[in-house]
C-alpha cells in the first residue's frame, strides 16, 4: 500500500513543469543529466536537483554508463499517482450509483 509520504513526493514532484518534461524526455532514455540540462533555460545544478527530486519520488532511476549517468523514467512510480486517481474515480462512481439507486428504487411503490 502507498504511504502518504509516497503520495506527497510523487504529486509534488509532478507539480513542476520542468520535472514533468524531464519525465517525458527520460522515457526515450539515453540522456545523462548534462544532456537533459541542455534543454532548459537554467543551470546544470538546478536540473540536477530536479532529477534528484524525481529520483527520491521514485519517478526516475539513474544508471551509470561510462562517465555519464543515464536517466530513465520509472513507470511504476507514475502508477502510484494513477492508483490514487483510480481510487478516487471508484469512490465517485460508488457515490453516483448510490444516488441512482435512491432515484430508481424509491421508498414507496410508484404508480
Partner DNA sequence: CATCGGTACAACCATACGGTTGTATGACGC
Partner DNA sequence: GCGTCATACAACCGTATGGTTGTACCGATG
69: left (phi > 0), else alpha (psi -120 to 50), else beta?
beta
Q: Is 66 helix (H, G, I), strand (E, B) or coil?
A: coil
Contact 71, 29 (CB under 8 A): yes
| 11 lies in the binding site for DNA (CB under 7 A) | no
Residue list 26-85, contact with its own copies (CB under 8 A): 27-28, 73, 75, 78, 81-82, 84-85
Q: How far is the CB of 40 from its own copies (least distance, A)?
A: 13
Residue list 36-75, contact with DNA (CB under 7 A): 37, 42-46, 48-53, 62, 64, 66-70
Q: Is 8 helix (H, G, I), strand (E, B) or coil?
A: helix
* Angstrom distance (rounded) from CA 16 to CA 20: 6
Contact 52, 16 (CB under 8 A): no
Q: Which residues sit at the interface with DNA, rule CB under 7 A? A: 12, 15-16, 18, 32-35, 37, 42-46, 48-53, 62, 64, 66-70
- List of residues contacting its own copies (CB under 8 A): 4, 7-8, 11-12, 14-17, 20, 23-24, 27-28, 73, 75, 78, 81-82, 84-85, 88-89, 91-92, 95
Amino acid at each position: 500500500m502507498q504511504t502518504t509520504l509516497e503520495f506527497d513526493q510523487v504529486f509534488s514532484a509532478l507539480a513542476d513543469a520542468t520535472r514533468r518534461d524531464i519525465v517525458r524526455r527520460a522515457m526515450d532514455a539515453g540522456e545523462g543529466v548534462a544532456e537533459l540540462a541542455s534543454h532548459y533555460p537554467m543551470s546544470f545544478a538546478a536540473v540536477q536537483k530536479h532529477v534528484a527530486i524525481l529520483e527520491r519520488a521514485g519517478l526516475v532511476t539513474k544508471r551509470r554508463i561510462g562517465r555519464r549517468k543515464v536517466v530513465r523514467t520509472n513507470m511504476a512510480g507514475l502508477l502510484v499517482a494513477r492508483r490514487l486517481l483510480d481510487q478516487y474515480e471508484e469512490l465517485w462512481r460508488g457515490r453516483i450509483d448510490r444516488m441512482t439507486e435512491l432515484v430508481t428504487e424509491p421508498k414507496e411503490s410508484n404508480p
